[in-house]
A = this chain, B = another copy of it.
Amino acid sequence: MSEQRIVRPTPISGFPEWLPQIRSVEQRWLDHIRAGFERYGFASVETPSVEALDVLMAKGETSQEVYTLHRLQADAGDDSDARLGLHFDLTVPFARYVAQHFNELVFPFKRYQVQRVWRGERPQEGRFREFTQCDIDVINVDQVPLHFDAELPRIVHEVLSGLDIPAWTLNINNRKVLQGCYEGLGIGDPLAVIRAVDKLHKIGADGVRAILVEQVGLSDEQAGVCLDLSGIRGSDTSVLDQVAKLGVRSELLSEGLDELGFVLDSLSDLPAGSVVADLSIARGLDYYTGTVYEATFDDDPGYGSICAGGRYENLAGQFIRRSLPGVGISIGLTRIFAKLVAEGRIDAGRLCPTDVLVAVPGDARRADALRTAALLRERGFNTEVYHQAAKIGKQIQYASRKGIPFVWFPPFEDGGPHEVKDLATGEQTEADPASWTRA
């Protein structure tokens, strides 16, 4: 055995892994998020980790990010797996799911989905190749009420407010406002402007202006209004007045402003500044058609979005000849969590879930220890029995090193008293396993 070749394991870049005391915090976060989604009636869905490549590529956008699967020792000529890829988000699988099971679902369908996704990024510091996303979407036949556009930020606000994370802001915009304004300015290719404005935080106003004038072909004046629009930001409906002052008119712009105003109004009871209309938010993806969301950390907006989403007119259109609009938002759990772990901002959780360690004074008393433990477990305490006869000091030390708060001592002889030691205070008292509760 000792002559065996050793394969020394090393972390794989982009695939995070946590020690138990960090994992226990992640698990608590996941439970909290799930409970938050269920509190609003969203149902759990999971999809396979893989999709057919033509499903993943139906949008044709993110081709180089897909990991494809291959059997290590496939038989010659067997390409049955060659057309499978790991999903790179949860939106495409959800669209496929709704189309595939269309006749078996009740609409409007509100689902949450918490799963790992994979992106075939080049290994690089801070880039995840495997990470967990927490998505909620509402999808309906033909029409999705605007109330949901306001409900989703409320849920995300409620969920993230219950986690100990640095201050963050949920920015909201509406693509109809952008597109309507550009159309009102007589611009022929509004999507080109959206893509340019989407780069504002990366290349600055002058960079965007250069693209708009030199590449998209806008006049200086048109470009100026586009940039003025993207500079508007505020947490109440006064932003609508600021847009009106630009003097641009179009039906689509009015519609977008009505929608944006409705969403801001609906969220006006949230703490000031937690939801902000930011007219520079565009979201690059072509499929958003109305409300768009993007949340960033206040102290590190350059880190990128920690939640994102929006309204899409017909996401499942590639998979079924029905109109299935929806609105959704995704929390980038790993993006948030891994950053805080790396910065030492996560307080380590418990090393193990055990509440009580039952000590075993000697093998003759083991049966009694097991009975005591069974009773404590029935009463809801996570309980271990020490795994061998050993000195009591050693057993207490094990509990202490594992962060187990209580050590239980069954009677040393039949009929004697049970005792329990609170390791935090050092206090040891008589106790009855049938009625004991944590102080």
Contacts and interface: CB of A to CB of B under 8 A. Distances in A.
A324 to B, nearest CB: 11
Interface stretch (A76-84, A181-189, A426-434): A76-84
A123 interface: yes
A184 to B, nearest CB: 24
Contacts of A72: 53, 63-68, 85, 120
A348 to B, nearest CB: 11
B48 A16 contact: yes
A20 B44 contact: yes
Given A48-B15, A84-B12, A120-B81, A106 B55 contact: no
Interface in A364-394: 366, 377, 382-385, 387-388
Most buried by B among A67, A78, A96: A67
B38 A7 contact: no
Contacts of A64: 71-73
Chain A, interface size category, equals: 35 or more
B45 A23 contact: yes
A151 B54 CA distance: 48
Given A20-B111, A64-B73, A70-B67, A40 B384 contact: yes
A318 B4 contact: yes
A234 interface: no
Contacts of A4: 317-318
A43 to B, nearest CB: 4
A65 to B, nearest CB: 8
Nearest to A54: B7
Nearest to A2: B321
A377 B97 contact: no
A68 B17 CA distance: 20
A38 B356 CA distance: 12
A130 B69 contact: no
A86 interface: yes
What 7 A-B pairs come out closest when comparing CB atoms? A71-B120, A41-B354, A15-B48, A41-B384, A64-B73, A38-B353, A43-B352
A145 B388 contact: yes
Nearest to A38: B353
Contacts of A74: 120
